[in-house]
Each structure stands twice: as structure tokens, then as C-alpha cells.
Amino acid sequence: MLVLVVVVLLVWFLYLASRKPRGFPPGPSRLPLFGFLPYMDAKNPHKQLWKLSSTFGDVVGLFLGSQPTVIVNGWEAVKESLLNDDLNGRAENSFIKLRDGGEYLGVMFTQKDYWKEQRRFTLHHLRNLGIGRRSHEAVIHEEAQDLISEIQETDGSVSLKDMLGVSSINILWAVMGGTRFPRHDPVLLNLVQKLTFMFSAGEVSGGLVNYFPPLRHILPKSSNFHRFMDALFSVKKFIKRSVEKHKSSLDPDNLRDFMDIYINEINNNKNEKCTTFTEKQLVGVCVDLFTAGSDSSSATLCFAVLLVAHHPNIMHKIHKELDHVVGHTHLPSLDDRTKLVYMDATLTEVLRMRSVSPIPVPHCALRDTFIQGHRIPHGTMILNNLYSVHMERDYWGDPETFRPERFINTDGSLRKDERVIPFGKGKRMCLGEPLARMTTFLLFSALMQRFTFSLDPAVPVPDTEGKIGFLLVPPEFKVFAEPRF
């Protein structure tokens, strides 16, 4: 009798653990406890999750562990999802909870009114500090000159990944912390390595530890999880030290950078009982901006160099345009951008083909809602597959072909396409988009003006697909950089 009861209870548990909510979008079967996790392709999740749409449609319902999850593929469904305010929440994230001491801080993982206030403040003051504007151009030009000099001083072929990582961090830190590091500063180089590892080691789905947090206690210290958290805490420690330095040197009448502005806001709100402006929130915001903004820009630039090195005919057209529009006497500037159509089209094509965030930070349903007529229950995690939009054959025709001309009109002007959304869309779109676009344009055009890049024949030809972790990052590769003048 006891055995029978145990068997019945076990069967009942397995039944409950394999059920899906009523009206949930169609999708693969749910394994008890693990859901779809055992089937996740860690190497190509964006391709695998898009492939599910051929069986289940553009809106696919599945479970990751016990977390109900909806995969959204295709332009119409992704656009509807990203513009739905009911889907602007954030799903549970064990990594960020550990980072923030059991709560959610910053701007990337907070939500509701807290997120709205912090996002509004951050976006407003980043704009005032020159992000995306000509007032920040001098900082990027200075970094570009140093980068060019470092490349020129290198004998033989060069690996650009760390060099571009240094440049991206310096440009971002000039706004956040008000200074630039020497390019070979050991603290800076350590940060570059930590950030590079962080974004290549993770998984889009979050991995087993995200859904079964107690597993972290039995994982060896050498595991990717512990190495990831070590890197994340190293960045947080660096930010906290910088905040302390800013507090000790703050002059309310001469605010130098974002940290100064935020600390001044904390001081102005210290008598408010319900203020969201606190020192730990400042650290959270800065960690979010620093981690999200630095590696993504350098990865995009690496992909750009790699792709044009694979297509010398495209590089030749870029050189011809730069020589005609800019010449050799000064670096390309934002004033030149409207005339550098082929350059801009090339970068747009890079962002389409090799968006470094093919599946961005997961969203979460704040209340019951719908996507393409499918019911999305409150608390469901949403994975918007931007890769499925950028590589949709029915729309692009030859999506795997690197062809900047697709973004040039017949009259020679730049053609903007609303389906190119590497930074997302809607209220949760990337805060750093203006700086990222500005940085990639000015640095890439400076490199193209000064060098002809060719792949090192002694190194195996790299796969331009890249490797995916939390971000899509370029493969290891080396190039020869031949000065043009």
C-alpha cells in the first residue's frame, strides 16, 4: 500500500511538473524540473531558438527549469513584444542578485517606477555630458590617435581585441569617471581581460545555476560560474573605489562627470525617506553601464575589421570614399558622417549580421498580456530573438552575404531600415546606443583611413560567426595593418 501511494504521488508530481499554463504558446514538451534546459545549444542558442519557429510558429512557449519562457522570433512578433509595456519587466537573475547582495540595483535589471526614475536620470545626464554629441568627439579622437600609434609600433600581425577593449573602456570611463587610463595601465588591462571573459563565458539562457542557485555551492572554484562572479565582483570593486575617490574630491559647483553628478544628487536627496538615489544604487548603475558598454563596442569593432579583411573589395570602397571626403590631414569627424555613406552602410551591415546581442537581456511579463494572439501569463520570461529579425531570408534575400550596398538608396543616400535593431527597441532599448554608435563610427573610420588590413596567413582563417556567451564575441584572429600614408 505504501509503495502504491509513493508511485501515485510520484506520477502526480511528474504530471504537474510537465504541465504548461492554459493558453500558453505552443512549444516543445516540458521535462520535469529541467524543462528545455537539457536541450539548449550553448554554442548557437539564437539559431536553435529561431529554428523552433519552423515547428511551433514565431511565438514559442517552453520552460527553462521551472521558469515559463516565451521565445519571440520574426520581425512582427519581436516588434510587438518590444513595444508592449506589459513586457518591460525583468526576470529573476541569480548572478545579479548575488552581485547586488540579494536585491536588484542599477538600470538594467530594476523595474517599474524605480527603473523609470533611474533610467530617466541616467539618460538625461549622459546626454548632457556629451554622449552621442560632438562635445565628446575630442575624447574619442584622442583615443583613436593613441590606438593608431600603438598599432604602428607593433611589429608583424596584431590582435586588435585587447587594443579595442582598452579604447572602449577609456571612452566610456571619460564620461563616467572623468579620466582616461594610460593604454598599458595594469588596472585597465586587467579590467579588459575580466570583461572579455565575463561576456564570453555566460549563456543566453543563464545556465543551470541561474535556475538552480544552490548548485553554485558544489561547483569547483575553477568553474565558469565562479570565474564569472569573480570578474563581476572585480569590476564592482573597481567602481566602489572610484566612487570613494569622487566623494572625497567632490565640488558641487564643478561637477566633472557622471559619478559627481550622481553623488551630488544623493546629497540633495539625503533627507528624503523614499529616495532611490543611494550610494549602492550609484555603484549598480555604473557597473551596468561599464559592463554593458565596454565589451559590446569593442566586439562590434573587431567584427567590422574582421569582415572587411575578408572582403578587400569592400575595404577598397571605404578607402576611396574616405580619401575623397576626408583626405589625410585630419581624422574623420561627425561632420563628415553624412558624406561617408558607404562607411555608415558598412557599419550598419556589421550590426545586422553580427549584432553582439542576438538575444538581449530577458524581459518579463509584468501582468497577463498577449503576443500575436498568444496568452503570456504574468511572470513569464521573454527572450526576443533579434537574430531572427536580422537574418530573415524572406526579407533580406541573402542575409548571410556581407553586402553594405543593401543600405544604400539608388540616389546614393543612406537607407535606414527599421528592422536593424541591434540595440533593441522600445523603452528597454540600450541606454548606451548613442555612445556605441558614435564610438564605432569614429574609431572604425579612423582605422580605415590609416590602415589596410589583411589576415595573417600563418593563422588559420577565423570563422566570422563568432562565439556566443552573454554576448556574441569575435573569434581570435590576427591582422597585418599596413599604413596607408
Q: 40 or 5: which carries more pLDDT confidence?
A: 40
pTM of the model: 0.92
Reported CATH class of domain 2-483: mainly alpha
Span of 198-212, 293-307, 338-352, 369-383 with lowest mean pLDDT: 198-212
Q: Tell me, what's the pLDDT at 14? A: 54
Residue 375 phi, psi dihedral angles, 5° rounding: -75, 130
Interatomic CA distance for residues 10 and 156, integer angstroms: 65
Q: Tell me, what's the pLDDT at 253? A: 93
Q: Tell me, what's the pLDDT at 226? A: 87
Q: 21 or 219: which carries more pLDDT confidence?
A: 219
pLDDT band at 132 (very low <50, low <70, confident <90, very high): low
The per-residue pLDDT for range 166-220, each reduced to its tens digit, is 999 999 999 899 888 898 889 888 888 888 888 777 777 778 888 888 988 898 8
Query: Which helix (H) or strand (E) element contains residue 265?
Result: helix 258-268
Question: Taking residues 139-154, what's their average pLDDT?
Answer: 95
Closest of 307, 345, 340 to residue 325, by C-alpha: 340
Q: How far is CA 113 from the centre of its chain?
A: 24
Q: Tell me, what's the pLDDT at 59? A: 98
Strands 451-455 and 374-376: unpaired
Q: What is the mean pLDDT of the chain?
A: 91
Residues 111 and 88: beta-carbon distance below 8 Å: yes
pLDDT band at 32 (very low <50, low <70, confident <90, very high): confident
Query: Which helix (H) or strand (E) element contains residue 384?
Result: strand 381-384
Q: Tell me, what's the pLDDT at 9? A: 64
Residue 114, pLDDT > 90, answer yes
Give the CA-trace dihedral at 270, 275, 278, 281, to 10 degrees: -170
Question: For residue 402, what are the contacts with CB-CB under 8 A and spacing of at least 6?
Answer: 307, 310, 311, 314, 349, 353
Q: 8 or 365: which carries more pLDDT confidence?
A: 365
Residue 49, pLDDT > 90, answer yes
Q: 293 or 30: which carries more pLDDT confidence?
A: 30
Q: Tell me, what's the pLDDT at 18? A: 60
Closest of 45, 49, 55 to residue 72, by C-alpha: 49
Residue 293, pLDDT > 80, answer no
Q: How far is CA 317 from the centre of its chain?
A: 29
pLDDT band at 390 (very low <50, low <70, confident <90, very high): very high
Question: Taking residues 399-407, what's their average pLDDT?
Answer: 98
- Tell me the domain boundaries of the chain: 2-483
Residue 87 falls in which region: left (phi positive, over 0), alpha (psi -120 to 50) or beta: alpha
C-alpha cell at 330: 585630419
Share of the chain above pLDDT 90, in %: 67
Residue type present at position 4: L
